[in-house]
Amino acid sequence: GARAVLEYQLFYRARYAEDAFASCQGVRLPATGGYAIATMCGRYGAQLCNAQRWLDFQGDKSNGLAPLQIEFQLLPDASEPG
């Protein structure tokens, strides 16, 4: 029979996730003047959104946008050499 991917896990370094979130956090929608992140963080809105909550909403197939369930795992940042 046919096989399909229904969900998967995605692993990001915490710093990468935080930087990606920070790059979107201040973006405003021209039509409303509100923050775009407010619509990208589900029930948390712009005020309570953080990198993990933002990614969790992006990967939640019940949001009407994600094609499948994605579980984002944030890994501790790698130690910088000496």
> Does 31 map to a domain?
yes
Place of tokens 């946008």: 65
pLDDT in tens, 7-53: 999 999 999 999 999 999 999 999 999 999 999 999 999 999 999 99
> Does 32 map to a domain?
yes
> Does 49 map to a domain?
yes
Q: Which domain holds residue 30?
A: 7-75
Rounded to whole angstroms, how far apart are CA atoms 40 and 43?
9
> Does 21 map to a domain?
yes
Rounded to whole angstroms, how far apart are CA atoms 28 and 65?
20
What does pTM read for this prediction?
Answer: 0.84
> Does 61 map to a domain?
yes
CB count, 10 Å around CB of 19?
A: 11
Q: How many domains does the chain have?
A: 1
